[in-house]
Structure 1
């Protein structure tokens, strides 16, 4: 088979990863951009979303699509509520101090992880996809001076993976519309620009912080619900999404939503292609080297602005 069909398949796999990674990283970037808080527990909110998706699907029963639909709505709302409670009971009490919030979110990470281990157990459990039709992918080649369409053997994807790509794009457009076109987004941008001035104009900054922390966690949980039919829910699954999300926001620029999305697409596509043609380990090594280069030559990230 020619290289082209393999490249197309690797691109689709990379786009699936990019969609999930973009949702996770946008939540992390949103929290940092508005609150100036580095949330070390962000990966555990991702893990909690996957575990809750399994729990909800088991509780609902019936057709897999019904349980998945309930989980798709319920898990992000529950995780977002937990994040709001954590903000009001923990981060608010340390006055959102950068150093103390890092320590606090590290503690929150271990609390969530160990409580999940106690209640859910150490097993990795899959969630059945609502639909998973295998789709053959066509390719075009030149035969006798004309383009001909054919279906190479083994070149296929699933309808669910294509749905994940579409869902990621829709949600990201929704986040952009919220930030750019709504009153809530205006308030969030005002708090991001100048907290003291926002307080002077009567904006309840602490409530905005709680809302932003909840939205960031809910986005991570939503990404986990989307990916758990492809992978499996496990109490230790939060570490890799956290590291990849930090990689993305560092490359794109801390607090820059467009930069985060672009960096997620770059990392997702490169990871998919390198994993298919070489190895997943090499993909992680290259991503780490890219972060090092960005930190050395452009510390504010590709789309970030240098602080005064």
Structure 2
């Protein structure tokens, strides 16, 4: 196979990574943007989404379509409620102090991780995708007769991976509509701009914080549900998700959703392409070096604003 078809295949794999990463990173960016909380436990909410998807599928024992549909509805809702409860019982009681919230979310991370290890076990377990048809992909070439399509052997992608890309785009569009076109989104943006002023106008910011923290966790859990038919559920899988999410949020700019989306696209695509042609480890090294350069030359991120 020529280089061009390989590049297209790697790009599609990168698009899947970027789609899942965008959902996870947007949840992290949303929490920081509104609450000014660095949620170190965000990766564990991603892990819980994947683990709960396996639990729901195993408990139902129905066909893959019904089981996956139940998982994609139940897992983000359960994780979101769990996160909102953690906000009310832990973060609210320490008054969202930046230093103490980091320590508190580290504690939440280890609690969730160890509880999952005790209840779920150390084994990685797969979830059957609702559909997984292999779709052959065409390529083109210029021959003696001009432009022509041909079908290289092995150039294909599964229908489920295309579904992941489409589902992530639909959810991200829904988040944009929520923030820009609804009263709830207006309240969230007002709280983000000036929490004290929003409270003076009668906005219950503590409820807004619980809602935002739960929504961010639900987005991470949804990412876990979407990825688990591709990658097996494991109690340690939150580490890589947290690292890549922080990389994306730092590059895009803390609290900047548009910057987060662009950075997720860049990091996800590069991670997929570099992983296919070289190794996943090299992709992580390059992403970390990019973060270091951003922190040195533009600490507020590519699309963030400098604190005044």
Paired with 1:33 and 1:176, the residues of 2 have a C-alpha distance of: 14
> Secondary structure of 1:101's partner?
helix
> 1:278: Cα distance to partner?
1.2
Q: Secondary structure at the match of 1:232?
A: coil
Aligned residues, how many? 308
Shift of 1:143: 1.7
1:4 aligns with 2:4: yes
Shift of 1:230: 0.1
Name the SS of the counterpart of 1:233 in structure 2: coil
5+ residue gaps, structure 1, are none
CA distance in 2 between partners of 1:5 and 1:52 (Å)? 37
| 3-state SS of paired residue (1:229) | coil
Q: Determine whether 1:261 maps to 2:261.
A: yes
SS of 2:125's partner is: coil
Query: Residue 184 of structure 2 corresponds to which residue in structure 1?
Result: 184
TM norm structure 2: 0.99
1:299 matched to which residue of 2?
299
Question: Counterparts of 1:102-251 in structure 2 under 5 Å?
Answer: 102-251=102-251
Q: Superposed, which structure 2 residues align to 1:76-115 within 5 Å?
A: 76-115=76-115
Q: Does 1:26 align with 2:33?
A: no
How big is the shift at 1:145?
3.7
Once residues 94 and 189 of structure 2 are traced to their aligned partners in structure 1, the CA distance between those partners, rounded to angstroms, is 23
Match in the other structure for 1:44: 44
SS at match of 1:149: strand
**SS of the counterpart of 1:45?**
helix
Q: Deviations over 1:183-208 (max 9, x none)?
A: 11100000000011001000000000
Paired with 1:272 and 1:55, the residues of 2 have a C-alpha distance of 29
Which stretch shows the higher mean deviation, 271-280 or 223-232?
Answer: 271-280
SS in structure 2 of the partner of residue 177 of structure 1: helix
Q: Is 1:14 matched with 2:14?
A: yes
Task: Determine the C-alpha separation between the residues in 1 that align with 2:295 and 2:97.
Answer: 24
TM-score using structure 1 length: 0.99
- Tell me the CA shift for residue 59 of structure 1: 1.2
Paired residue secondary structure (2:135): strand
CA distance in 1, matches of 2:272, 2:9: 9
Q: What is the Cα-based RMSD across aligned positions, in Å?
A: 0.6
- Pick which of 160-169 and 144-153 moved more: 144-153
2:287 matched to which residue of 1?
A: 287
Q: Decide which moves more: 61-70 or 139-148.
A: 139-148
5+ residue gaps, structure 2: none
* Deviations 1:232-286, CA, capped at 9 Å, x for gaps: 0111111000000000000000000000000000001101111111111111111
Describe the SS at the equivalent of 1:122.
Answer: coil
- Tell me how far apart the structure 1 counterparts of residues 285 and 43 of structure 2 sit (CA, whole Å): 20
Please give the alpha-carbon distance, in whole angstroms, between the structure 2 residues aligned to 1:270 and 1:122.
30
SS at match of 1:148: strand
> Could you tell me how far apart the structure 2 residues matched to 1:108 and 1:289 are?
29
C-alpha separation in 2, matches of 1:277 and 1:244: 19
Aligned structure 1 segments of 4 or more residues deviating by more than 6 angstroms: none
